[in-house]
Structure 1
Amino acid sequence: MSDLIIALILGIVEGLTEFAPVSSTGHLILVGHLLGFEGTTRATTFEVVIQLGSILAVVVVFWRRLLSIIGVGKSLGTKAPEKSHLNILHIFIGILPFMIGGLLFHDFIKNVLFSPKTVVIGLVAGGILMIIAELLHKNRSKTLDLDAVSYKQALYMGLFQCLALVPGFSRMGSTLSGGLLVGMNHKTASEFSFIMAVPIMAAASGKDLLDSWSHLHASDLPLFITGFLTAFIVALIAIKFFLKLISSIKLIPFAVYRFLLALAFWMFIL
């Protein structure tokens, strides 16, 4: 199979799964294994590059909100909410626990936890958490939009986000579960999770890319560019679709899908 076909397939997988509560890491490991594209620095670097494509999609979708958060929206003439209360402190509080955990346990996660067995455990455990969060939520949301999110809720979502340090757990799945458990509705929790993803994923992907920079070759550019653009376009569509979908089908169908994916790992990889 040619590199460009592999780039297209994995770019589509990344774009579809990065911001859904189903573990993009799990999908990339499984599909990469089936395609025979795994176990090399080239493959690892490619995953980092396509994640950057997904991050760019979030920036495009939420650019007005992101500008208002950092305080430059008005100067550029954007139509930020007049009574906006969501600010950069909410984001900082939300990402701080994950950043501390990532810095402390980065090597342990990469060298010990990053395995198919851990992914299966993360998929199942994350699915169970999502079902519990959905059952306890019971449509009793008190926080119905981003500007009603409190600092305490941001902290709790940040703490739940730390579960995503375990491969397979899913950053989106853990943050959505945390958001529901602290009183947000599905759309608000999803949007806050998307916005928190920008600095977290940009920092993590940027670090990994710098670490792999010496292994990059000009001959790999078509592979990386194809994957990046594919992930960006697919994620752009998937984000908008997911925000509409999550309010109607909730989390339990995604949890069931995670259990099926764990079964696929057991059949094809373990």
Structure 2
Amino acid sequence: MHDFISAIILGMIEGLTEFLPVSSTGHLILAGELLGFEGDAATTFKIVIQLGAVMAVLLLYWSRYMSMLKGLLAFDFSAPKKLNALHMIISMVPALIVYLLLKDFIKGRLFGPGPVLIGLIIGGMLMIIASRARIKVTAESTDEITYKQALGIGLFQCLALWPGFSRSGSTISGGLLLGTSQKAAADFTFMISVPVMLGATVLDLYDSRDLLTGDALLLFLIGFITAFVVAMLAVVTFLNLIKRLKLEWFAIYRFVLAIVFYLLVM
């Protein structure tokens, strides 16, 4: 029963944090430590339930994804300054390559409280630097993001493979440093989260297929549904919050979280 309650709690945490630059994976690892929800199945669980939250984004941007898919199938990339499937692919490739090369190291060495605290602090410092940088904005909306900027944001996304850095925190920071507005960077981050998380989840499910039986499978399902429902209720509010609130405020929250957890557990 304890594991099922933990699955619901972690699903709620995932749904509430996935769309904020505070590291949902970091929160799940720290919460799992406090709940005693650990082990190989727990590590896979913390990755898989992110898919529940990401599905909320898929529904939110459904029409746009379908439009880009049609362009991809028609090999229509004639408008490089209009967001299309090639932007998505370019931004996904760097993190995918790094994940395939280092996934054993990432899951074996970085999914712990210590690395997460480091990621929260360094990631917060990156967000402050990006927020205060005076970079000329050349892309006010996602349709003005260039292929070069998409690649650069994809490179910054590699930082998010370190739990605690945050995918949205890394990519929004990267966008700001590469000349996009915070609104454009936030929208683009939400857009690329779906294919990135789908790919990561499928790979992780395949690697952990022996764990997908009995109670473990039920735990994954409970966490997935909880994360999806909570995310659906929160996604629009949080998206608007990210577009308007300066990154420094999220960085401060990350610093406070790291300090509190260190005092409680470390």
Length-normalised TM-score, structure 1: 0.89
Number of aligned residue pairs: give it.
262
Tell me the amino acid that sits aligned with residue 2 of structure 1.
Answer: H
Aligned partners of 1:13 and 1:28 also within 8 Å: yes
Partner of 1:32: 32
Of 79, 95, 98, 1:98 maps to: 95
Structure 1 residues 198 and 253: alpha-carbon distance in aligned structure 2, compared to 1, 3 A threshold: same
User: Map of 1:29-68 to 2, 5 A cutoff?
Assistant: 29-38=29-38, 40-68=39-67
Partner of 1:128: 125
1:201 paired with 2:187, answer no
Aligned partners of 2:19 and 2:239 also within 8 Å: no
Aligned partners of 2:81 and 2:146 also within 8 Å: no
Aligned partners of 1:97 and 1:162 also within 8 Å: yes
Runs (5+) with no aligned partner, structure 1: 76-82
TM-align CA RMSD? 2.3
Deviation at 1:148, TM superposition (A): 1.0
In 1, Cα distance between the equivalents of 2:222 and 2:171?
Answer: 30
Write out per-residue CA displacement over residues 112-167 of structure 1, whole angstroms, 9 at most, x where no aligned residue. Answer: 233322111111111011001011147x5331211111111101101111111222
Most deviating of 217-226 and 5-14 = 217-226
In 1, Cα distance between the equivalents of 2:89 and 2:114?
Answer: 32
Deviation at 1:15, TM superposition (A): 0.8
Q: Quote the sequence identity (%).
A: 52
In 2, Cα distance between the equivalents of 1:247 and 1:205?
Answer: 27
In 1, Cα distance between the equivalents of 2:217 and 2:112?
Answer: 28
In 2, Cα distance between the equivalents of 1:128 and 1:170?
Answer: 12
Tell me the amino acid that sits aligned with residue 240 of structure 1.
Answer: V
Deviation at 1:223, TM superposition (A): 2.7
Deviation at 1:67, TM superposition (A): 0.8
Partner of 2:261: 265
Tell me the amino acid that sits aligned with residue 114 of structure 1.
Answer: F
Deviation at 1:238, TM superposition (A): 2.6
Deviation at 1:226, TM superposition (A): 2.2
User: Map of 1:1-270 to 2, 5 A cutoff?
Assistant: 2-38=2-38, 40-71=39-70, 85-137=82-134, 141-270=137-266
Aligned partners of 2:33 and 2:113 also within 8 Å: no
In 1, Cα distance between the equivalents of 2:37 and 2:146?
Answer: 43
In 2, Cα distance between the equivalents of 1:23 and 1:49?
Answer: 15
Deviation at 1:35, TM superposition (A): 1.4
